[in-house]
Amino acid sequence: MINCTQDTAVVILSYNGRKWHELFLPLIVSEAHTGYDVVVVDNASTDDTLQYVQENYPTVHTLQIAVNRGFSNGYAEALKQIQAKYYVLLSADFEVTTGWFPPLINAMHRYQGLAACQPKIRYWKDREFFEYAGAAGGFKDKYGYMFCRGRIFNELEKDNGQYNDDIEIFWASGGCLMVRADLYHKVGGLDPDFYAHMEEIDLCWRLKNAGYKIGYIAGSTVYHVGGSVISYGSPQKLYYNFRNSLILLLKNEKAATLLWLFPLRLMLDGVAGVHMLLGGKVKEMFIIIKAHLHFYGSLGKWLGRRKEANKNITHRNEAGLYKRSIVWQFFALRKRIFTKLNWTPERLS
């Protein structure tokens, strides 16, 4: 068990991540004086990551997980062993900036009911642009499709200061997620069965169903390399995108909404499969079928998870819910950037 000396534990899950620690750990450690302990969790690496960290960063706490069962399970196992008031889940391929932490902790103190938040996330390889995994905060449309300010589908925006405000969002990026430890454990933490995609959305949705707020804090900026856990556009990413989106909806959506939404999503996923087939992407079509077969094959388990999640529902906080179709807006009306949606999220208060 790790008992942190500071209120916050910045927890970095690492699998064969020495190259990222060589690049990014020095600044993370040097900024720790602003109010956090650093914990590196080695997720059964096959390289010398753990030895490197222990030998070069004596102030960093380390944990080792014997068997790698994915990103979400790695954090789920590690956070049971870390005593702190707040966690920051920080992926190994993130570069922080000087002064990145105080705006996040100040927000947790300032905004009533704030359970979790994220900073501004920009692209490490093209630093003027927002990054895919979180950008300037995550949202959900009426049909359960997720998108971000600064990134709708694969369209990345340049950061011109257009999103320099603190707002309520529907979900915060799991790549750099600050969360109250007591609430994290109260709602059940990260679901290990998500493996490595959408697990943070599931956590945020459960926190919102318990009446809490999720925030985007513009005063903090970090940079993300991206694609180091599951490569963007890979078959594995496609599989988890389709399977986990179904789990996400079944666990957290209102029962009345599921009655019409699930048949619709089944049809839309079928359309996506046909589109891939016509485009010669036969392998991708079978991945979608596989995702659905695996989801429905474990339906009893997912219904059990829904029952567990329902125990924590108080009143559903729907801030960050976009009550239109982002698919229609993006593809049919060609509104490729967030400001074109003519929708203003609620400010944090």
Q: What is the pLDDT of residues 87-114, one digit of tens each?
A: 999 999 999 999 999 999 999 999 999 9
| In-domain check, residue 292 | yes
What are the tokens at 348? 């944090």
Residue 233 has phi, psi (to 5 degrees) of 85, 0
pLDDT of residue 233: 62
| In-domain check, residue 169 | no
| In-domain check, residue 273 | yes
Residue 206 has phi, psi (to 5 degrees) of -65, -40
SS3 96: coil
SS3 171: strand
Q: Give the residue from 64, 92, 120 where a domain finishes.
A: 92
Amino acid at position 285, single letter: M
Residue-by-residue DSSP string for 229-276: SS-TT-HHHHHHHHHHHHHHHHHHS-HHHHHHHHHHHHHHHHHHHHHH
pLDDT of residue 330: 96
pLDDT of residue 39: 98
| Structural domains counted in the chain | 2
Residue 339 has what DSSP assignment? G
| In-domain check, residue 163 | no
Which domain covers residue 305, as residue numbers?
A: 235-318
Q: Give the residue from 27, 58, 92 where a domain finishes.
A: 92
pLDDT of residue 235: 86
| In-domain check, residue 258 | yes
| In-domain check, residue 335 | no
Q: Which among 220, 225, 226 is positioned nearest to 31, based on CA atoms?
A: 220
Is 228 a residue whose pLDDT tops 60?
no
Predicted TM-score (pTM) of this structure? 0.96
Q: Give the residue from 92, 126, 157 where a domain finishes.
A: 92
Q: What is the pLDDT of residues 145-157, one digit of tens each?
A: 999 999 999 999 9
Please give the Cα distance from 132 to 224 (Å, whole number).
Answer: 9
Residue 217 has phi, psi (to 5 degrees) of -115, 105
- In b/e form, how buried is each residue of 57-77, taking b as 16+ CB within 10 angstroms? beebbbbebeeebbbbbbbbb
For the segment 233-245, the average pLDDT, to the nearest whole number, is 89
Terminal alpha carbon distance of the chain: 35
Q: What is the CATH number of the domain that holds 40?
A: 3.90.550.10
Q: What is the pLDDT of residues 40-79, one digit of tens each?
A: 999 999 999 999 999 999 999 999 999 998 889 999 999 9
Total residues found in the chain within this entry: 349
pLDDT of residue 212: 98
| In-domain check, residue 137 | no
